[in-house]
Structures are given as structure tokens and as C-alpha cells.
Amino acid sequence: MDWIRRYILFHGKRHPQEMGKPEVEQFLSHLAVERNVAASTQNQALSAILFLYKEVLEKDIDWLDNMERAKRPARLPVVLTAAEVRAVLAHLEGRPRLMANLLYGAGLRLMECVRLRVKDLDFEYRQITVRDGKGQKDRLTMLPDALVGPLQTHLADVKILHEQDLRAGFGDVYLPFALARKYPNAGREWGWQYVFPASQRSIDPRSNIERRHHLDEQTLQRAFKNAVRASGVAKPASCHSLRHSFATHLLMSGYDIRTVQELLGHKDVSTTMIYTHVLNRGGKGVVSPLDAI
């Protein structure tokens, strides 16, 4: 591994068995101070060294396990205004538009959206069940009224595609964990199909079975990037910016932060608190002395 090689060369090709905590700290400090690497890069180096001592050299390294890792600097999220969201969405069409509407309208993460199953949409109660989200937790979020009709129309087309796969001898979708063994026929059922399936079947590398996977997330990412550019929005917005905008706009509408925390699936309310920066206006809500005169 490249980081292990750099670690050994940095210490004059000394054998790692002869080195310990001081040498590791010296190398990591060199990366941060002299090489000015990002916190994520420094953590990559530490992970490689950890692997070297624990798995290769089989050396007891309690001191390395307890070593504090560099923290990424806090970054404020990119939040679009309501007008900017409308402008970007206006340059999307078809499935990318429907998916982007879900990211903004329900606060979904990108992968939560592409992994949605038909059974996760509850049109009667107007809610979406997000399965195995970040932290391996399920949560409920709203299903916007404006998307009920478009989603039902979209699912009608998806069902036709699924029925064609079944007639061709396919139609079995990937099931998570041990469900495939527990319910061997569930993968062919309509409820387990992806809401946004791929246009073509492919070979599943885990089982070598030909099946239809969900849509590649890069399809939406590319379409959204092009839409941002076409809309003239100057912010470095990504698909995740729609989730940030969802949270911020709910808080601006007067919803309490605990409700927004539950809809987003945040473990700690302090994570949700970052969206309050927009509510304070620029400069923490302080009126500039220039405006006073």
C-alpha cells in the first residue's frame, strides 16, 4: 500500500517492527503541517498504518487504536432558495425530474431515493418508508401530494416493464440480507421491485444472476449538474443540496427542529441545527452599521 511505503521511507526505511507511537505521530504531523493534507487524507494514512500493524505484523497496538484522528473542518451546507429550486427543476424532465422532486419534497438522500421499493410508497397515508438509511435505521417521511399523480403514472410503466421481465423468465430483484433465503419467491413480487429500475438488465456480481438493478445514481447526478448549469444558479449545488434545502425551508416555514430532525433521520439534533444558519440571515442576524445610515 502506498501509505505504508511512504511511512517506511519517511523514517529512513526502518522496519515498522522497530517503530511505534512516536514515529506514527511524527509521520502524521508531517502530513498535516508540512504537506498540508486534508483531514480525510491524514485519516487514510492512519488507517493504512493501522492495517499494517494489526493485520500484517499482528502487533498489539492499543496505542494506535486510541490515537485521535483528524477531524474534517465544519462546512456549511449549500442551500438553494425556493426560486433557485424551481429554476433547477424546470431544466429537468422524465425520471431525473421525478427523483429530484423526491429529494427536495421528502428530504431523501440520493441513494435512499434510487433504492426505493414499490412497497415503501404509501399513497393513502401520504408517506414514504426509508429502509436501512444512514446508521441502518428506518424512518418515515412525507410523500408530497404534488407527486402522487406523477409517481402513480411512473409506477404503471414500471409494472409493465416488470411483467415483461417475468414473461421472459426474469423479474427477480435483489433482496437485502437473508430475505432471499427466508422468502425465495419474494424477489419476483411487485412490492419488492425498485421504483426507479435500470433500463437494462445486468449480471449481479454477488450471485451471477441476471436481474434488473436500480437506476445508476450517476444518471441523476449528471442530469442535476446540467440543470444547475442551465438554470444560471451560481451556487455549487449537488443532489444533496435539495435535501439541505428541504430542511432549511421547513424551518423557515415554522416547523420545529425536532420534527425536521425526525424527517431527516438525524441521530442527534445538533446535526440538524446547522440549517438554522439560514434563519439568522447573513452575519448571524446582526444588522450592518452601513444599513443603519
Catalytic residue positions? 109, 134, 240, 243, 266, 275
Contacting residues for 190 by C-beta, under 8 A, at least 6 apart: 118, 159, 162
CB atoms inside a 10 Å sphere around CB 199: 10
Instruction: Answer for the pair 188, 202: CB distance below 8 angstroms, yes or no.
Output: no
Between the CA of residue 284 and those of 53, 146, 245, what are the distances in Å? 47, 34, 19
DSSP notation for 207-271: TTEEE--BPPHHHHHHHHHHHHHHHT--S---HHHHHHHHHHHHHHTT--HHHHHHHHT-SSHHH
- Kind plus residue range of the DSSP H or E element containing 122: strand 121-122
Separation of alpha carbons 242 and 232, rounded Å: 16
Task: Report the alpha-carbon angle 204-209-210, nearest 5.
Answer: 80
